[in-house]
Structure 1
Amino acid sequence: MNPFVHRVCLLVLVLAGAFVGVWAYAAPLHWYDNFPGFGMQWLPVLGPYNEHFAKDVGALYLALAILSACAFVRIGNRTLVLVAALSYSAFNLLHFTYHATMLHMYDTRDAILNAVSLVVVLLCSMLLLVPAQAGDQA
């Protein structure tokens, strides 16, 4: 695996985690009513608003973003990259699995975008499990 791919994957995870985390924690009702943005609303169809749950989601995403940012900065530390990869992969796999069973609740556009966005972050986290090429340092 090219180390540049690891950097790109970590950057995607940092940005996704920070985007969801800051929004959900700082403005939980706005996040719930408007996520993912761009005029789409993916959360209200899944159940009623709960501020505690929304803030917990935000905190989780912020924690994963911090872990991924640390791995990005210390990309040569394989253990740190693996911890980030495993943590985010566990979350992303379970998150994707749940949402895959709920895609019927969305119109076609939203179902496709939901699935694609979840697969992208899952693939990014899983690609970090593949070791960088020997001798390469990002």
Structure 2
Amino acid sequence: MKTRVDRACLVVLLLVGASTGFWAFVAPESWHASFPGFGLDWLPRLGPYNEHLARDTGAMFLALATLSGAALRRVDDVVLTRAAGAAWLVFNALHFGFHSTMLHMYGLLDQVLSMGSLGLVTGLALVLVLPGRASGQGASR
């Protein structure tokens, strides 16, 4: 059961990392102007456009996507799966913490969507880090 849950978490994290990373790296100005999409624009309120920062952010998300893909390919490798979860957890816990101090810049809908999406990604990473329930043989995943 833990392997199936981990696989699902890794798929979502891979998609988040790849889509955000590709957009930020390939079209950094568009990403800054209109992230997260769907008619919302969260980034311009946090500061002026910076191509270097946007592309670095994209590269970081692509690196996390790559790690997630490697862990997904070898989901039974507990060390690799937990390492992927730990990398996402460190990034997203800090990311969540920062954005929680910036909520005053947004309306209620944007606050809920921002904290909800960051909370979801942080929660998925936490699931990967936590061990599974002990199996009948006494081992945990």
User: TM-score interval w.r.t. the shorter chain?
Assistant: over 0.9
Query: Shift of residue 132 of structure 1?
Result: 3.3
Question: Which residue does the alignment assign to 1:54?
Answer: 54
Per-residue CA distance 1:80-123 (angstroms, 9 max, x = gap):
01110111100010000000000110111011000000000000
Q: Does 1:78 align with 2:52?
A: no
Cα offset, 1:23, TM superposition: 0.1
Q: Using the alignment, how far apart are the partners of 1:2 and 1:67 within structure 2?
A: 19
- Name the amino acid aligned to 1:9: C
Partner of 1:115: 115
Distance between the aligned counterparts of 1:84 and 1:131, measured in 2? 14
Q: CA deviation at 1:2?
A: 2.7
Distance 1:82 1:129 in 2: 5
Question: Which structure 1 residue ranges, 5 or more long, are not aligned?
Answer: none
Q: What does residue 36 of structure 1 align with?
A: 36
- Distance across 1 between alignment mates of 2:5 and 2:79: 17
Tell me which of the two structures has the higher relative contact order, counting C-alpha pairs closer than 8 angstroms and 6 or more residues apart: 1
TM-score, with length taken from structure 2: 0.92
State how many pairs are aligned: 136
Q: Which amino acid aligns with 1:35?
A: F
Which residue identity does 1:112 align to in structure 2? V
**Alpha-carbon offset, residue 131 of structure 1:** 2.1
Give the Å deviation of 1:42: 0.3
Query: How far off is 1:3 after superposition?
Result: 2.0
> Displacement of 1:35 after TM fit?
0.4
For structure 2, the 5+ residue unaligned runs are none
Q: Offset of 1:130 from its aligned partner?
A: 1.7
Give the distance between the partners of 2:49 and 2:38, measured in 1 at CA: 20
Question: CA RMSD, aligned part only?
Answer: 1.4
> Residue type of the partner of 2:15?
L
Q: 1:12 maps to which residue?
A: 12
Identity of aligned residues (%): 47
